[in-house]
Structure 1
Amino acid sequence: MTDVITQPAPTAAPAAPHFGLTKFRDPLRIPPLIRPHSWWHQDEITINMTAARVRLHSQLPATAVWTYEGQFPGPTIEVRSGKRLRVAWSNDIEGTIPLVGVRAPIGQAPANTPGYRSPDGGLPPGVEIIDGVADLPPWTVTHLHGALTNAGNDGWAHNATLSGHAQLTEYPNEQKSTTLWYHDHAMAVTRFNVHVGLTGMYLVRDREEDDLDLPGGDHEVPLILADRNLDTDPATGALTGQLLFKVPYLPGGAMIPFTGPFNLVNGVIWPHLDVDARWYRFRVLNAANARFFRLNLIDEEGRSHNDAVRIVGTDGGLLPAPAAMPSTGLVLAPSERADLLIDFSRFRGGNLRLTNANVPVGGPVEPDLMEFRVENRDRHDSFELPEKLAESYTRLDHDSPELADHDHLFVATVPPGTAGDAHPQMWELREITDNPPDEFPAAGIIQVTDPATGKVRTFEKVASLFDETTTFFVDHGRWAVWNLINLGGPAHPIHIHMSQFQLLTRRRYQVDQQNNVPGFDIAVGGTTAPLAVPGAGDPIQQHEEGWKDVFQLNPGEWLTVAGRFEGATGQFMYHCHILDHEDEGMMRPFVVHPPEVARFHVHPGGGHGEH
């Protein structure tokens, strides 16, 4: 394994150290760019996955990782809309996964601190090595997140390959300018494979974007956000650079998803970026396993300057018009993307920090993500913020003609402990309003009051684990409205493969102090009586109106999202993008097939839902 990064000396006075590391010491690493349609005029490339050693910080020893093309994160692949690209994802990784997996009783050994061993090298009471992690082979399958591609190219979780084999894929790129990303999606071990480095960004360009003349070149920068933990030498307490997957667990055995004390941007812990006093474009991705980032731009006195930021795009591409950055910060859930413009001209000679406002100052986790150092000079900048962006954008609502005839799909997430299951679950629902059970609560039975009609509707759980029977089938070319309901527990970022969607409505039930919806009996796993019509949820903000493939489903929320399943067919996945939840069972398949074929397909579950 070879080092793939060397860090130059700092260019400004360093900040105070944290866990022995000096914040903002190292420059932001910019992933190399691969432009097959521009440089090489190719439509076929090979991306090699290899083991490597990288420095996450210049004060750390090198860290063993798994990479795409020897880079952490992987190269940014940039393509033109409408031009096909074939990629051979070649697995050339040797050895077992370079990760130490540890679990500790909640509250006894904080997961947001480095290290896990006692000074004598032993394990403190209750701390356990997660059995089997150290033995994991390089079994990988790459998913291009947000891509419109046939199912055979989508990175089906069971279709992972071992070292010495390649995954052959074809991406038509028949979609608008957008920010996609690629990452490992292997069944049951996605959280570990992504954690050790298998991520990268993928940009689609089109003429509509070109005509806007947005900041580009050195003034367009990817920002891939993540968090990690590191092991320590038990005798000295010094950080070793070894990646540490350290998670707390509850008395029932459920492990809480990983979050770590070290914030990384483009694979560097607390980096800095020297910027010109002009507009920049940042393609931001939350690639963390589970952490939600609330992005906030602040100066050296801690004052917020979110008014200098404009949001011009989200998961599925450009917004219809620039949107203001929320004054309280922009929340990005795992796998969400944001296309941001920042005007640095008003901060000449100053330093700004991008922070995570969800994290309190002074805790074990630093709120700081990175620092921007603005040059102290006037600079001519010809860029002017456009009033309109995506002229091709059309806003949907429940009365849109596109949705006059569509499928309804219902999915509910339920809290940990439901019917004795330690982890949160994702239930696929089938309507049984005409044949409800005689008594309530009943296991797997949910009754709701329809907000549109006021009528009580009864649903039963028909599947929750990935390998159970497929019950969602959608005709190719057809629109579908997904009803996503969170009956309690944590927030879940729900990702639906194959298409892009718009958020139509956000409603909310009242929740108790444990964030659970009263009326849902956790012990039984069913509602005691029909849930009332949910109240109005938080208003849909301007930056939430764009096309998206990930939606934050908060406790008590009922979201409706609409998308058209056109341009690709086959068996796809949808899941919670907290990777620990995904691996622990919160993932389900669905099928998109031609309607002419569907009439001959005999399958359980009642088919398409409601037409």
Structure 2
Amino acid sequence: MRRRALLGAGATVLGAGALTAAGWPLLSRYAREGLPGKVMTSRAELPAAFRTPLPIPRVLEPVSSNGTTDTYELTQQHAELEILPGLRTAAWTYGGTFPGPTIVSRSGRRTVVRHRNELDRPAVVHLHGGHTPAASDGYPTSLILPADGSYDAHRVHQDMTGGPHGHAMGHGAMDLAEGSRTYTYPFDQRAATLWYHDHRMSYTGAAVWMGLAGFHLVHDDEEERLPLPRGDRDIPLMITDRSFAADGSFQYPWLDAQLRTPGVTDAYMNGVLGDVILVNGAPWPVHQVRRLRYRLRLLNASNARLYKLQLDPQPEGGGGFVQIGSDGGLLDAPRRHDTLEIAPAERFDVVVDFSRYRPGTRVRLLNRFGDGSTAQVMRFDVGSGSPRDDTTVPGKLSDVPRLDPGRATVTRDFHFRGSDVGWTINGTEYEPGNSLARPALGQVEIWRFTTNFHHPIHVHLDHFQVLSRNNRDIGPFDHGWKDTVDLRPAEAVEIVTRFTDYPGTYMLHCHNLEHEDMAMMADFTTA
């Protein structure tokens, strides 16, 4: 692996030839911010922005329900989608769509999802943000093998360990299910915007890029008592970037196009960026809104790209985004923002009041970390008239008890590093079964993350609260319960957490998916 040249060059280098050919500055705004990744330039003819209506992912209906449990079935399958007008894109999908269908659950009520794998490669499903028993968490070697019987343990082992990007792994580390697997989610957790995605070891970046992602929303009584927008004014927005080949297929820098060897080519080891921004699978879509409040559930489902979102024009007086929730559900009180910085896997629930705009206003959602085709995300077209709005954003949203760091019995350090060894945590590349921590259930702990590069850090099982950045106050986007925190170069972030309910082995990892695939993961085991 020619890691040394990449890592010695700094956090981000974009192809200067591609940028200047497109008429962009030699160094893009994204690169000037020191953000990770390299752009793959599309070869397909790209559509004009704001021509495609915003798709809303369908809500999946349960196949059965009883007094305690709702059961769903989803098939992972190949599909041909029209993402760019007039072209067909081969995708790996949940239920034939990208994003996959939205699953809606109730806090305190069990959800069971049976996944059948009709793809031509193994898969794993992780419910991101779920408080989940270990057997259903989506451990990266708990595989669903293809239903056609084309894979056995030996071939799986070769795929995961072969080549320069493979992981150390013994056959005993694998848990193989033939054709299907059932995931059980008790949902002993509060209302929140969750998402599900593939989590197969060494191949997560490729699988998510190809389409394996969808929303899973959890509701509860506390949230429903609030007079927040709902129904067609409660909109999940999955923001991703992709690039496309001339025939419309997804373009990804596979190290091996047959996917027998994991990883990406050396130039993209710091993350793959696309030049097309998709929202709910549509390029730069447009959505008609009334002069009312809307709840927008923003999810950054990109492999590596960070966004700085801003409304244009800003409403008079600013504060166009009223944040009501984070990764783990409602904040204690709303927080107003002019911009939102959102790293891969983070979620922000915001309310936007479109009555602050005149009828006919076209409000763009911009990306201030972007240039050229990545500088805008979508558009909202504000309708005429002034219908009565029966919603509001209360000054108090929820009781969010603070974990007391003074009660922490352990402080643990996790160092996220890029070096000529590779992407590592505490100096080691990922090895399944090698736990870096063994927290006791119910015990308050402080975890300290440090880095020399830019990494969004995700912790499985339980949410956490951010305590500090570089021994100072938390950032403007760190409030509430989090499961992913944006860790910037040469930064130390302290979090406080407490793992509850479920013993077993869980994950801590970078959610830059190329970093994750190239070994920036670690196990921790609760007991």
Same fold (TM over 0.5): yes
The match for 1:143 is 126
For residues 516-595 of structure 1, what are the structure 2 equivalents within 5 Å? 536-537=471-472, 539-541=473-475, 543-593=477-527
Distance 2:265 2:107 in 1: 51
Q: Post-superposition shift, 1:398?
A: 3.0
> 3-state SS of the aligned residue for 2:143?
coil
Q: Residues 251 and 279 from structure 1, CA distance in 2 versus in 1: closer, same or farther, beyond 3 angstroms?
A: closer
The match for 2:8 is none
Q: Across the two proteins, how many residue pairs are aligned to each other?
A: 444
Question: What whole-Å deviation, never above 9, does each CA across 1:168-222 have from its counterpart, x for those lacking one?
Answer: 1100000001011000000100011111100000111011001102100000001
> 3-state SS of the aligned residue for 2:200?
coil
Q: Does 1:86 pair with 2:112?
A: yes
> 3-state SS of the aligned residue for 2:272?
coil
Q: Residues 310 and 468 from structure 1, CA distance in 2 versus in 1: closer, same or farther, beyond 3 angstroms?
A: same
Q: Does 1:465 pair with 2:448?
A: no
Q: Does 1:367 pair with 2:375?
A: yes
The match for 1:312 is 324
The match for 2:288 is 274
Q: Does 1:43 pair with 2:70?
A: yes
TM-score, normalised to structure 2, is: 0.80
Distance 1:254 1:262 in 2: 17
For residues 145-544 of structure 1, what are the structure 2 equivalents within 5 Å? 145-164=128-147, 165-232=179-246, 240-246=247-253, 255-299=269-313, 307-325=319-337, 327=338, 329-347=339-357, 348-360=359-371, 363=372, 365-391=373-399, 393-396=400-403, 398-399=405-406, 404-415=407-418, 418=419, 420-421=420-421, 423-427=422-426, 461=427, 463-467=428-432, 469-486=434-451, 488=452, 490-507=453-470, 536-537=471-472, 539-541=473-475, 543-544=477-478
The match for 2:96 is 70
Which letter maps to 2:416? T
Q: Does 1:53 pair with 2:80?
A: yes
Distance 2:386 2:408 in 1: 56
Larger radius of gyration: 1
- Aligned 8 A contact 2:139 2:506 in 1: yes
Which letter maps to 1:296? Q
Which letter maps to 1:34? L
- Aligned 8 A contact 2:254 2:265 in 1: no
Distance 1:201 1:258 in 2: 22
- Aligned 8 A contact 1:265 1:370 in 2: yes
469-478 or 204-213: which moved more? 469-478
- Aligned 8 A contact 1:505 1:560 in 2: yes
Distance 1:542 1:371 in 2: 25
> 3-state SS of the aligned residue for 1:161?
strand
In structure 2, list runs of 5 or more residues that go unmatched.
1-43, 148-178, 256-262
> 3-state SS of the aligned residue for 1:551?
strand
- Aligned 8 A contact 1:264 1:369 in 2: yes
Q: Post-superposition shift, 1:406?
A: 2.2
- Aligned 8 A contact 1:333 1:493 in 2: yes
In structure 1, list runs of 5 or more residues that go unmatched.
1-17, 94-136, 233-239, 428-460, 508-535, 594-611
Distance 2:464 2:476 in 1: 15
Which letter maps to 1:271? P
- Aligned 8 A contact 1:247 1:255 in 2: no
State the identity as a percent. Answer: 35
Larger RCO, structures 1/2 (Cα 8 Å, 6+ apart): 2
- Aligned 8 A contact 1:141 1:160 in 2: yes
Q: Post-superposition shift, 1:542?
A: 5.3
Q: Post-superposition shift, 1:306?
A: 5.2
TM-score, normalised to structure 1, is: 0.69
The match for 1:598 is none
- Aligned 8 A contact 1:473 1:590 in 2: yes
- Aligned 8 A contact 2:315 2:356 in 1: no
Q: Residues 411 and 341 from structure 1, CA distance in 2 versus in 1: closer, same or farther, beyond 3 angstroms?
A: same
Q: Residues 265 and 186 from structure 1, CA distance in 2 versus in 1: closer, same or farther, beyond 3 angstroms?
A: same
Distance 1:21 1:306 in 2: 31
Which letter maps to 2:455? H
Q: Residues 468 and 322 from structure 1, CA distance in 2 versus in 1: closer, same or farther, beyond 3 angstroms?
A: same
Distance 2:318 2:467 in 1: 26
> 3-state SS of the aligned residue for 2:524?
strand
> 3-state SS of the aligned residue for 1:540?
coil
Q: Residues 250 and 149 from structure 1, CA distance in 2 versus in 1: closer, same or farther, beyond 3 angstroms?
A: closer
Distance 1:88 1:584 in 2: 29
- Aligned 8 A contact 2:327 2:348 in 1: yes
Q: Post-superposition shift, 1:544?
A: 1.9
The match for 2:47 is 21
Distance 1:280 1:591 in 2: 41
Question: What whole-Å deviation, never above 9, does each CA across 1:534-568 have from its counterpart, x for those lacking one?
Answer: xx55x424542200000111111111101111021
> 3-state SS of the aligned residue for 2:135?
helix
The match for 1:529 is none
The match for 1:526 is none
Which letter maps to 1:346? R
Question: What whole-Å deviation, never above 9, does each CA across 1:462-497 have from its counterpart, x for those lacking one?
Answer: x432337323111122122111011x2x31000010
- Aligned 8 A contact 1:297 1:354 in 2: yes
> 3-state SS of the aligned residue for 2:431?
coil
Distance 2:54 2:393 in 1: 26
